[in-house]
């Protein structure tokens, strides 16, 4: 038995570090000692503030969640560590796991996905967000030469833009109201625009700002019969979508995308494990270091999470480090 520490949302708006006993792994299990984890600011902020809708509480459970929404709950899904106990052939292996913020934990061996040698621990925490971006692009089905606008230069929007950049002939703009997001666009090698500067007439618009204003911008940038893919999650916050104006005349399609289910176009041949392995391989690209802009110690999470949930700071992916 090992003594572990985990981060819990004790009540909406307040977190705490709790001790817990972790039993030695049984057959088919591994014990992982965490090195780093990542905070998915959008979803985890909603969870921390207690804004998971009653109707979505089962859907929004993460794989190794403990407790129930709104609180107390142990939540998170971006942990990278080393296998410390389990099958001899896997001892010392670096792995990614969809596990909440905890320094030591035991999971089924298949839940510990090997991290490729070319992906450092810090970059590997982006795997869950990269999965979201992959699934979104499967849903969006961009084509060679498309004019594409990505609204919202956060982690998911930025990852989508980085993947879209690899498609031949794509005319791509990454759009955000914050001018400093131009730094991220430059690191990814894509064009940055504020909403006022955006070109419009897009074949495809991906919205990932998680704001009603961003959704309005996304709809305004779509060309005739274009697709607007909604990748934001708003929790229990009502969102006004401007479906008047040119929405019908332009024959626009507004479609949702969510990572919990593999996109329909790939579902017959892909499962979540294969998709996660792809996400980790794609993170071998050093450009993705640009997303790692915040960091704190695990012990500081009770003080850090309220600030992140309130929207303070400019961190994209916030890293949590463990001893």
Question: Interior CA angle at 250 toward 248 and 256, to 5°?
Answer: 75
For the chain, give every domain's residue range. 2-126+283-321, 129-256
For residue 11, how far is the Cα from the chain centroid?
23
Low-confidence ranges of the chain (pLDDT < 70): 313
Structure tokens at 250: 């332009």
pLDDT in tens, 139-185: 999 999 999 999 999 999 999 999 999 999 999 999 999 999 999 99
CA distance 27 to 87: 8
- Greatest CA separation found in the chain? 64
Give the pLDDT score at 244: 87
CA distance 163 to 71: 36
CA distance 295 to 221: 35
21 strand-pairing partners: 3
Give the pLDDT score at 313: 66
Residue 306: which H helix or E strand, with range?
Answer: helix 301-309
Same fold yes or no, 2-126+283-321 and 129-256: no
Give the pLDDT score at 236: 87
Give the pLDDT score at 245: 83
Domain 129-256 grouped into CATH 3.40.50.2000: no
Structure tokens at 176: 């955000």
Altogether, the residues listed in the chain come to a count of 323
pLDDT in tens, 228-274: 999 998 988 899 999 988 899 999 999 999 999 999 999 999 999 99
CA distance 111 to 63: 9
CB 91 within 8 A of CB 85: yes
The fold of 2-126+283-321 is Quinone Oxidoreductase; Chain A, domain 1 (3.90.180)
Give the pLDDT score at 315: 76
């Amino acid at each position: 038995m090992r003594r572990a520490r985990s981060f819990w949302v004790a009540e909406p708006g307040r977190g705490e570090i709790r001790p817990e006993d972790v039993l030695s792994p049984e057959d088919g299990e591994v014990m992982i000692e965490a090195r780093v984890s990542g905070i998915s600011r959008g979803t985890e902020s909603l969870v921390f503030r207690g804004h998971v809708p009653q109707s979505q509480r089962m859907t929004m459970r993460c794989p190794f969640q403990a407790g129930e929404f709104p609180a107390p709950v142990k939540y998170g899904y971006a942990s990278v560590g080393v296998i410390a106990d389990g099958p001899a052939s896997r001892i010392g292996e670096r792995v990614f796991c969809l596990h909440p913020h905890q320094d030591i934990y035991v999971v089924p061996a298949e839940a510990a996905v090997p991290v490729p040698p070319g992906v450092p621990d810090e970059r590997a925490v982006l795997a869950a967000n990269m999965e979201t971006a992959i699934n979104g692009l499967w849903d969006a089905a961009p084509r060679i030469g498309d004019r594409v606008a990505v609204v919202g230069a956060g982690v998911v929007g930025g990852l989508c833009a980085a993947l879209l950049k690899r498609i031949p002939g794509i005319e791509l703009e990454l759009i955000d109201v914050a001018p400093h997001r131009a730094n991220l666009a430059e690191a990814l090698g894509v064009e940055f625009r504020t909403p006022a500067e955006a070109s419009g007439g897009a074949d495809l618009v991906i919205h990932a700002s998680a704001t009603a204003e961003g959704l309005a911008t996304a709809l305004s940038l779509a060309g005739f019969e274009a697709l607007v893919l909604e990748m934001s999650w708003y929790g229990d916050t009502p969102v006004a979508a401007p479906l008047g104006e040119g929405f019908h005349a332009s024959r626009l399609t507004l479609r949702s995308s969510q990572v919990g289910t593999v996109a329909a176009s790939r579902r017959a041949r892909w499962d979540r494990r294969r998709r996660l392995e792809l996400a980790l391989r794609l993170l071998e690209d050093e450009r993705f270091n640009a997303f790692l802009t915040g960091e704190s110690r695990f012990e500081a999470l009770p003080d850090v999470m309220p600030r992140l949930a309130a929207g303070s700071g400019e961190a994209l992916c916030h890293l949590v480090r463990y001893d």
